[in-house]
Structure 1
């Protein structure tokens, strides 16, 4: 059932390898089998550090099954880029959401919840709740 009527997840980082690694970890921790669609949008189109609206838009389109797309970002300009894209209104799928969540823990919670069939509200809540994870 991977990707069919599941919320899509886009992981936006300033680094392509970081975005790809977090995506791989989140998918692996979501049981490693069929997971909700996840796409990494890291770095610039040329492979450098930064953010690219084109890469983000492409990633969002690739995971959109019509039930929502959640975007998690690492820092600074990634936040500003996604906010700008959402304000434009035509670069991201309808209903796309920027979620305030820790990048790694939020990604894992989002992918697990989306893979279990959670709707966009549940995916957003799970990712956001990751701020409360205590390590000590």
Structure 2
């Protein structure tokens, strides 16, 4: 198993491809390559929106047996992320959690926690501490 697979993965989902990619870039600059990281942004036509299939692909790219924490910007992103997790199927879907945390701050804090080898529950709890 490589070092990346030993840490919880992070997925960023935004209605805007630029926001998703920018957030992922920020996370990567903060933690380097020690955390599996992927993003999904925009609809299938490249406009604003989200796509369950694209989110599923992002989860697959950031997959870790330690789990995956998903960060979303708006309700539609959460709904499509839930559908993507269902499409992942059992038992892997049990290892994916949508975080109730701010998109950018939550993803950065979660990735920092994950980079230290924290388990999924701790990564999620740390990010969710940022929510009001």
Instruction: Provide TM-score, normalisation by structure 1.
Output: 0.85
How many residue pairs match? The answer is 130
1:124 corresponding residue in structure 2: 124
Q: Which runs of 5+ in 2 are unaligned?
A: none
Displacement of 1:88 in angstroms is 5.5
What CA deviation, in whole Å up to 9, does each residue of 1:44-101 have, x standing for no partner? Answer: 1221110011110000011112110111100021111122334556299431111100
Does structure 2 retain, via aligned residues, the 8 Å contact 1:86–1:92? no
Distance 2:41 2:73 in 1: 10
How far does residue 29 in structure 1 lie from its aligned partner after superposition?
2.2
Aligned partner of residue 13 in structure 2, secondary structure: strand
Change (3 A) 1:83 1:34: closer
Question: After TM superposition, where is structure 1 displaced by more than 6 Å over at least 4 residues in a row?
Answer: none
- Say if 1:61 and 1:93, in contact at 8 Å, map to a contact too: no
Work out whether 1:4 is the aligned partner of 2:5.
Answer: yes
Three-state SS of the structure 2 residue aligned to 1:130 is: coil
More helix by share: 2
- Tell me how large the CA RMSD over aligned residues is: 2.1
Aligned to 1:36: 35
SS of 2:89 mapped into structure 1 = coil
When structure 1 is superposed on structure 2, of 7-16 and 92-101 the one drifting more is 92-101
Cα distance, 1:87–1:29 mapped onto 2, change above 3 Å: same
Q: Quick one: structure 1 residues 91 and 25, their matched pair in 2 at CA, closer, same or farther if it must change by over 3 Å?
A: farther
The equivalent of 2:111 in structure 1 is 111
Give SS of 1:49's match: coil
TM-score between the two structures when normalised by the length of structure 2: 0.88
What is the match of residue 15 of structure 1? 16
